Structure 1
Amino acid sequence: MVTSPVAKETPKEIPKEIPEEVKKVVLKTSEPIGLPKKPSQFSISAALTKSEEEEPDKIIASTKKDLPSQHFSETDLQIEWKKFLVELQEKDVIVYNAINSFKLKKKDENIVVITYPSESAKVEFDKVRSDFFNHFMHKVNHFNISVEFSVDVTMKKEIITKRKIFDKFAEINPLLKDLDDLFKLDFS
């Protein structure tokens, strides 16, 4: 039989009577014994206080002054945008279809204006915006580029279906509508 090397402790005697002086004193801690309560990541109040504390604009502004700012041309911007769209078409067709109608123009040495057709397309562009501009800034060695957005609703592409074509012709010639009702034509 193997005995453990740990020595056995003898139980200490606990006094049966507690003096009156000890009973009256209540010990309190200065801090809670448990873990501090963390706000939930979905807490609105925590998000508001967090946004007030952070000031990343000052940090970004000081680091951008130190970065190189070489000249780039409008053709550099257009070539890289077309290359990016080709790569994006292979990776993510949905985002490509949303942003392929965007127009990028160089407004000033440090400003690129992006014209887009709708807010939903802009949301899709925001997903890949950092990828494009990180690549472009490294390619032209110009790291002080700022972006301006402008909406142009005339750029919206309307998908014309056979039903829409038929409805246009039916407005011109009402007899087509009668034929559709009579023969139950399917233009879907």
Structure 2
Amino acid sequence: MVVTPQKKEEDLPDHHFTEKDLQTEWQVFLSDLFIKDQVTYFAVNTAKLHKKEENVVEILYPSDLVKTEFEKIQAQFFNHFKRKVNNYKIEVSYREDKKLIKKQETKRDIFQKFIEINPILKDLDELMRLDLS
């Protein structure tokens, strides 16, 4: 029986990868995920990945739900990505970013923005009693 020695972490390759490599693979992964599991896709597609340092990828997420769902698929994505770029020393950091929350705008919200631009619309709304619900 032949026992192969385990590779030490410092012996693992850590080739350079770019932000574009990361974004391209993330988009490919998301498109595959959309086909396989749409529920997970819609949960994690708001997460943003960025190369922070040479071997550090930062995950920006809007809520704890997105983080939890991302952690479920993290190993699957990063195992593939590490093989693709031949860098096995990639580390992951998380940061919550409330700016990523997507709020559905109603007609009333849009109208309020227009009122800020043109205050006369407020008078028109009061006069005509517009139904923007």
- Pairwise mapping of residues 97-176 of structure 1 onto structure 2 (< 5 A)? 97-160=42-105, 164-166=106-108, 173=125, 175-176=129-130
Q: Distance in 2 between matches of 1:169 and 1:176?
A: 10
Higher normalized contact order (CA 8 Å, seq sep 6+, divided by chain length): 2
Q: Which amino acid letter does the alignment assign opposite residue 165 of structure 1?
A: K
2: CA distance between counterparts of 1:79 and 1:111?
17
Q: Deviations over 1:67-119 (max 9, x none)?
A: 11111111111110110011011011111111112221111111011111111
Inter-partner Cα distance in structure 2 for 1:176 and 1:79: 46
Deviations along 1:118-158, one digit per CA (max 9) or x if unpaired, are 11111111111100000000111100110111111111111
Amino acid paired to 2:22: L
| Runs of 4+, deviation exceeding 2 Å | 62-66, 164-170, 172-177
Indicate the residue corresponding to 2:12 in structure 1: 67
Amino acid at match of 1:103: K
Q: How does 1:19-30 map to 2 (within 5 A)?
A: none
Q: 1: CA distance between counterparts of 2:56 and 2:108?
A: 45
Q: TM-score, normalised by structure 1?
A: 0.54
Q: List runs of 5+ in structure 1 lacking aligned partners.
A: 1-61, 181-186
Paired residue secondary structure (2:25): helix
Q: State the percentage of identical aligned residues.
A: 43
Once the 2 structures are TM-superposed, how far is the Cα of residue 64 of structure 1 from its aligned partner? 2.3
User: Unmatched 5+ residue regions in structure 2?
Assistant: 1-6, 113-121
SS at match of 1:82: helix
Q: Distance in 1 between matches of 2:16 and 2:109?
A: 52
- Structure with the greater alpha carbon radius of gyration: 1
- TM normalised by structure 2 equals 0.75
Name the CA shift for 1:71/1:169 in 2 (closer, same or farther; >3 Å).
Answer: closer
1:95 corresponds in structure 2 to 40
